[in-house]
A and B are shown apart, each in its own frame.
Chain A
Amino acid sequence: MTTPLTRPSKKDPQKRTLVPVLPPVARSRAALGLGVMAAQGRFGLQVCKDCQAIQYPPRDACLKCLSADLVWQDVASEGTIMAETTIRVSPEPYFRERMPWRMGAVQLAAGPTVNCHLHGEVGRGDTVRMALKLDKAGQGVLIALPLKGSDLMQDDLVLRAMSSDPKHRRVLISDARSPVALALTQALLKAGAAHVFLGEPEAWLAWPERAAFEGLVNVSILPLDVTDASSVTKLAAEIGGKVDILINTASYVRPGGIMGNDTNFATKSFEVNTIGLMRLAQGFAPGMTGRAQDDTNSAVAFVNILSVRALSPDANYGAFGASQAAAHSISQSLRAEFRTSGLRMMNVYIGPIEGDAWFQPLPPPKVTPNAIARTLVSALVDGLEEATCGDIARDVYARWRADALLLEREMTGGGS
């Protein structure tokens, strides 16, 4: 059984905030593939294209036939724990602060034996489900999980350090007016979030959906306009020290291509979708990176909700697509800047939202706010860096990964 996490008490500002130290960061180029899999929540290893031998540790030539044609693909995640140890002495500062540390050797049903972290509910002889997770260094690592865990299995400290679980954490949603804000708030509270702050731009403009937030316990609506640097600074000064997860929902959409469109719309798209993200990061991320090693309610994730058109534009939404592509680029830069702290940058790619008037003429399938909320919260629990929600986003993301140039041709009408 896992010991339940208790709700943390208030932080003592006179005590030293622990400086984030990371588990070992160095990896070979081939081993980076583990992180690519982990970031998407997949369990995959290198498989030889010529003889189908499954490889581990990651390498550059097949251990059976010397072929250099090794491809990463999903493999069966079941395994058996052959041996285990509890490490009580380590020269590495990250683990020293967390002793003792359990690890084991698991023989995968797929073949190889792997060294891995052990969840507290598994031990020698157990059949386990292996998962690839991102550790605090942002690298993909293996953990053996129970086939059927207890209700508290997410409270396991080793697993929690690889997750961005909202339980006991405080979340800021940057734009309460977003069509997903209410569903997201409810999903986060259900997942155990301690408090949800929502930013409200242009508070003087009435909006009927506001009523649904009023009276919710542990929910506060506060003024925040991502197009206004001083507004971001002001809110950061007020609550920046207790934002553990930031979810950027601010979005500005206007249809239209490039040649005939109003550049004022384009400017506004960039102000909100792109520079708005940068302002949020400037206001909140430095504090979050500094608190990445606080205990139960450490700062864990900065989440950007992106249209999947960030990856490959829909010509009917040209300026919007450009602002999303730029925001995607900022996300990637932030991810690199966060690496030394352990703070995670998560991109959630979505398709057109059901009920969003600016996507009204588009045909289904569209994605509902509830589906986005569900996907986003479970991606936080799973500790992902990349998540897609809805059929369109999933489809475009997969095609973009497979062949971005082919996707561009398909988007312009070919391929029927």
Chain B
Amino acid sequence: MNRLPYDGVVLVAPVSVPYVRYTNETAHWWIARALREVLKIIEMAPQDLDGLSVSSFTLAPDTPVGLTQHLGISPRWLDTVPMGGASGVAAMRRAARAVQCGDVDVVACVAGDTNRIDSFRNLLSAFSRFSMDATFPYGFGGPNASFALLQDAYTHKYGATREDFGRIAVSQRANALMNPQAIMKKPLSLEQYMEGRMISDPISLFDCVMPCAGSEAFVLMHEDMAVAKGLPFARISATIERTNAFPDDPMQLRGGWAVDIDELWNMAGHGPSDIDVLQTYDDYPVICMMQFEDLGFCAKGEGPEFVRRHDLTIGGDFPHNTSGGQLSVGQAGAAGGYLGLVEAIRQVTQTAGPTQVEGAKRAVVSGFGVINYDRGLCSGAAIIEGAG
């Protein structure tokens, strides 16, 4: 069955609230800051907001329901997307259909999390039942250890080297140097990457994101509304999402994108070569490499060769994670699942400022999330296009 296009609904008001390493402010505070920013851009009072989608790991004991009272808003449409690194794409595609069908006119999508001292350990301890039962008792390496196993298996199956993963981290750092909001501001060379101490072999220091606090947001609305307000906007040309793909694979060497990728390109009506900028979910370089393959930019197992042949920086032939990604901007909990999408909206609306890829029209954004036990369960991807 052919899927309905996302006609008449657009993405506006990309907002990134600058991250900090540690904070005593709550998730409520971070979400409120991002929400206030987007409402200012679309010139709307909080009381007039009729749709809200929230992703956060650290709102407890509240849910987004409690958050509405906390923030004094009374939406007629409320969603919560618990898909971690896939939250941005998933929140967008749900909200887009709601706006398109008229259940709601404007949806603000917000993700934010706090990071107190020791809160990352506590967050991990209660992350999921399977990880509590079946991964944390084995050395409590957290996601570092899970991705180390994945990278170990990938490396031995496809002949990747540490330098290959290093190329991804190093080029993202180069991008981050252009982004005033990135937490990591020191240049990183491939030599420094290679000298980084081992965290959970073969994952080394510069393969890891820094947990921090922050928030990200964007807004979906009717196209004519955006035009009337004079807002730069982006259209959605295709989306996919998948949860718990390939459950019988003994190790995760491919993500859910591989199930749905043909649908993504068919819906978009063009292929990977027409893409100007790619934003992947990058909690570790190995998962970026897997996205290059599973999204169709190269064949399975050719990821290492692909990164050797391409320049992944803003000015390069394959601009990737132009803001610096989580590896250099930081990982603010569920906001990490928004980072790429928010940057992609800026890119295709030519509002990215210092990280702007010249003439970027089309972007692929992909998300990956929730290491429930031994693998990431959620995947999603979207293609968005600038209107201009």
Interface residues of A (CB under 8 A from B): 23-24, 26-28, 30-31, 56-58, 63, 82-92, 94-95, 101-105, 107, 113-117, 124, 135, 137, 139, 141-142
Segment 117-161 of B: residues with Cβ below 8 Å from A: 118, 120-121, 124-125, 129-130, 132-142, 144-145, 148-150, 152-153, 156
**10 residue pairs bridging A and B, Cβ less than 8 Å apart:** A28-B133, A83-B152, A85-B149, A85-B202, A90-B139, A95-B140, A101-B139, A113-B374, A114-B134, A137-B137
Chain A, Cβ-Cβ closest to B140: A92
A105, B247: Cα distance in complex, Å: 15
17 further interface pairs, Cβ-Cβ under 8 Å (given A31-B133, A83-B156, A91-B140): A30-B133, A31-B134, A56-B134, A57-B130, A58-B133, A82-B153, A83-B148, A83-B153, A83-B251, A84-B149, A85-B149, A88-B198, A91-B118, A101-B139, A103-B141, A141-B137, A142-B138
A137, B138: Cα distance in complex, Å: 12
Whether A92 and B121, one on each chain, are in contact in the complex, defined by CB atoms closer than 8 angstroms, is: yes
Q: Is B200 an interface residue (CB 8 A)?
A: yes
Q: Is B201 an interface residue (CB 8 A)?
A: yes
- A95 cross-chain contacts in B, Cβ below 8 A: 139-140
Whether B133 and A117, one on each chain, are in contact in the complex, defined by CB atoms closer than 8 angstroms, is: no
Q: Which of A26, A85, A116, A117 has the most CB of B within 10 A?
A: A85
- B139 cross-chain contacts in A, Cβ below 8 A: 87, 90, 95, 101-103, 117
- B144 cross-chain contacts in A, Cβ below 8 A: 87, 89
With beta carbons under 8 angstroms apart, the residue of B125, B138, B374 that contacts A26 is B125
- B197 cross-chain contacts in A, Cβ below 8 A: 88
* A-B pair number, CB within 8 angstroms: 119
Chain A, Cβ-Cβ closest to B138: A103
Q: Is B318 an interface residue (CB 8 A)?
A: no
Chain B 99-127 near chain A by CB (<8 Å), digits 1 or 0: 00000000000000000001011001100
Chain B, Cβ-Cβ closest to A58: B133
Chain B 183-205 near chain A by CB (<8 Å), digits 1 or 0: 00000000000000111111100
- A31 cross-chain contacts in B, Cβ below 8 A: 132-134
Q: How far, in Å, is A403 (CB) from chain B's closest CB?
A: 28
- A116 cross-chain contacts in B, Cβ below 8 A: 138
Whether B132 and A27, one on each chain, are in contact in the complex, defined by CB atoms closer than 8 angstroms, is: yes
- A92 cross-chain contacts in B, Cβ below 8 A: 121, 136, 140
- A117 cross-chain contacts in B, Cβ below 8 A: 138-139
- A90 cross-chain contacts in B, Cβ below 8 A: 139-142
A56, B250: Cα distance in complex, Å: 12
- A63 cross-chain contacts in B, Cβ below 8 A: 247
Whether A91 and B124, one on each chain, are in contact in the complex, defined by CB atoms closer than 8 angstroms, is: yes
With beta carbons under 8 angstroms apart, the residue of A26, A57, A135 that contacts B373 is A57
- B120 cross-chain contacts in A, Cβ below 8 A: 91
Interface residues of B (CB under 8 A from A): 118, 120-121, 124-125, 129-130, 132-142, 144-145, 148-150, 152-153, 156, 197-203, 247, 250-251, 373-374
A103, B152: Cα distance in complex, Å: 12
A104, B129: Cα distance in complex, Å: 19
- B136 cross-chain contacts in A, Cβ below 8 A: 24, 92
With beta carbons under 8 angstroms apart, the residue of A26, A56, A124 that contacts B156 is A124
Known: A24-B132, A103-B145, A105-B149. A82 touches B251 (CB 8 A): yes
A408, B132: Cα distance in complex, Å: 39
Whether B125 and A85, one on each chain, are in contact in the complex, defined by CB atoms closer than 8 angstroms, is: no
With beta carbons under 8 angstroms apart, the residue of B129, B150, B200 that contacts A88 is B200
Whether B125 and A105, one on each chain, are in contact in the complex, defined by CB atoms closer than 8 angstroms, is: no
Q: How far, in Å, is B168 (CB) from chain A's closest CB?
A: 19
- B141 cross-chain contacts in A, Cβ below 8 A: 85, 87, 89-90, 101, 103
- Ranked nearest first, the 8 interchain pairs of A and B with the lowest CB-CB distance are A85-B148, A92-B140, A87-B141, A91-B121, A31-B133, A57-B134, A101-B139, A83-B153
- B145 cross-chain contacts in A, Cβ below 8 A: 85, 87, 103
Whether B201 and A88, one on each chain, are in contact in the complex, defined by CB atoms closer than 8 angstroms, is: yes
Whether A27 and B133, one on each chain, are in contact in the complex, defined by CB atoms closer than 8 angstroms, is: yes
A105, B200: Cα distance in complex, Å: 14
With beta carbons under 8 angstroms apart, the residue of A23, A24, A85, A124 that contacts B200 is A85
Known: A82-B153, A83-B150. A88 touches B199 (CB 8 A): yes
- A87 cross-chain contacts in B, Cβ below 8 A: 139-141, 144-145, 148, 200
Q: How far, in Å, is A136 (CB) from chain B's closest CB?
A: 10
A141, B120: Cα distance in complex, Å: 24
A139, B137: Cα distance in complex, Å: 9
- A30 cross-chain contacts in B, Cβ below 8 A: 133
Known: A56-B134, A57-B133, A86-B200. A24 touches B140 (CB 8 A): yes
Chain B, Cβ-Cβ closest to A105: B149
A336, B201: Cα distance in complex, Å: 37
A135, B125: Cα distance in complex, Å: 18
Known: A26-B125, A85-B200, A124-B152. A113 touches B134 (CB 8 A): no
- A27 cross-chain contacts in B, Cβ below 8 A: 132-133
Chain A, Cβ-Cβ closest to B141: A87
Whether A23 and B137, one on each chain, are in contact in the complex, defined by CB atoms closer than 8 angstroms, is: yes
Q: Which of B120, B139, B145, B153 has the most CB of A within 10 A?
A: B139
Whether A85 and B153, one on each chain, are in contact in the complex, defined by CB atoms closer than 8 angstroms, is: no
A63, B125: Cα distance in complex, Å: 24
- A101 cross-chain contacts in B, Cβ below 8 A: 139, 141
A28, B124: Cα distance in complex, Å: 15
- B130 cross-chain contacts in A, Cβ below 8 A: 57
Whether A85 and B201, one on each chain, are in contact in the complex, defined by CB atoms closer than 8 angstroms, is: yes
Q: How far, in Å, is B149 (CB) from chain A's closest CB?
A: 4
Whether A82 and B250, one on each chain, are in contact in the complex, defined by CB atoms closer than 8 angstroms, is: yes
- B132 cross-chain contacts in A, Cβ below 8 A: 24, 26-28, 31
Chain A, Cβ-Cβ closest to B135: A115
Whether A135 and B198, one on each chain, are in contact in the complex, defined by CB atoms closer than 8 angstroms, is: no
A113, B121: Cα distance in complex, Å: 25
Whether B125 and A24, one on each chain, are in contact in the complex, defined by CB atoms closer than 8 angstroms, is: yes
A30, B134: Cα distance in complex, Å: 12
Known: A101-B139, A141-B137. A86 touches B201 (CB 8 A): yes
- B374 cross-chain contacts in A, Cβ below 8 A: 105, 113, 115
- A141 cross-chain contacts in B, Cβ below 8 A: 137-138
Whether B250 and A91, one on each chain, are in contact in the complex, defined by CB atoms closer than 8 angstroms, is: no
- B134 cross-chain contacts in A, Cβ below 8 A: 31, 56-57, 114-115
- A83 cross-chain contacts in B, Cβ below 8 A: 148-150, 152-153, 156, 251
- B137 cross-chain contacts in A, Cβ below 8 A: 23-24, 135, 137, 139, 141
Q: How far, in Å, is B129 (CB) from chain A's closest CB?
A: 5
A91, B143: Cα distance in complex, Å: 12
